[in-house]
Amino acid sequence: MQLFKKKSAKKDFDDKNLSIGQQALIFFWEIFKVVVISLAIIIPVRYFLIKPFYVKGASMEPNFYDHEYLIINEIGYRFDEPQRGDTVVFKFPFDTTQYFIKRVIGLPGEIIKISEGKIYIFNEAHPEGELLEENYLLPAMKTLGDLEVNLAEDEYFLMGDNRIASLDSRSFGPVKRQYIVGKTLLRGWPINRVGLVINELEYNL
């Protein structure tokens, strides 16, 4: 205990002998080091791993609401490809300054057919087509439109969960892989809905 007290006393004595300018310089140097270390951690995370996203509009209700704050996983798609059911954030192909959130419905190489309020998927496993069952939609929700789309090997068919209020691939067409930024990871706001977002959905296909 005596040794500790003497060491502390010596440090206090040294600090008292520093000029105000020297003390200020030490203070700002410590602040600078904290800022540099913080930026070294934050910048890679912000620009390469995750991205914040603010939901605008009602196109993804009832699963995502207007003004919700989400965290997007950007690094996941560096090692894997988007899967059916993933809710993804992507750059709008006709204006890449805008970001949309939609759900992956059709995968590369598939044929998507919308008829009488329902979606049919044609692929190698279902060459005759299979009705897509979506239990995350409201019970009375119908998919408006009457179209058939052949997806290229780098294209995805994206749609909003609120089919009657969504601007999606039914309007602007398939979205190329290069425009997809990442998939939803975490809902950060509002407080009563904070939590991880489940993307691994089970389909009948």
Tokens of 67: 């003004």
How many CA atoms within 13 Å lie on the side-chain side of 53?
29
Please work out, in degrees rounded to the nearest 5, the angle formed at the alpha carbon of residue 125 by the alpha carbons of 161 and 199: 30
Asked about 102 being catalytic, the answer comes back as: yes
Q: Residues with Cβ < 8 Å from 20, sequence gap 6 or more?
A: none
Asked about 59 being catalytic, the answer comes back as: yes
- Residues 163 and 75: their CA atoms lie apart, in Å, by 29
Task: Find out whether the peptide bond into 108 is cis, omega within 30 degrees of 0.
Answer: no
Burial letters for 12-22: b for 16+ Cβ neighbours within 10 Å, e otherwise? eeeeeeeeeee
Q: Which of 51, 102, 113, 183 is catalytic?
A: 102
Q: Which of 5, 16, 56, 59 is catalytic?
A: 59
Cβ contact 192:203 at 8 Å? no
Catalytic residues: 59, 102
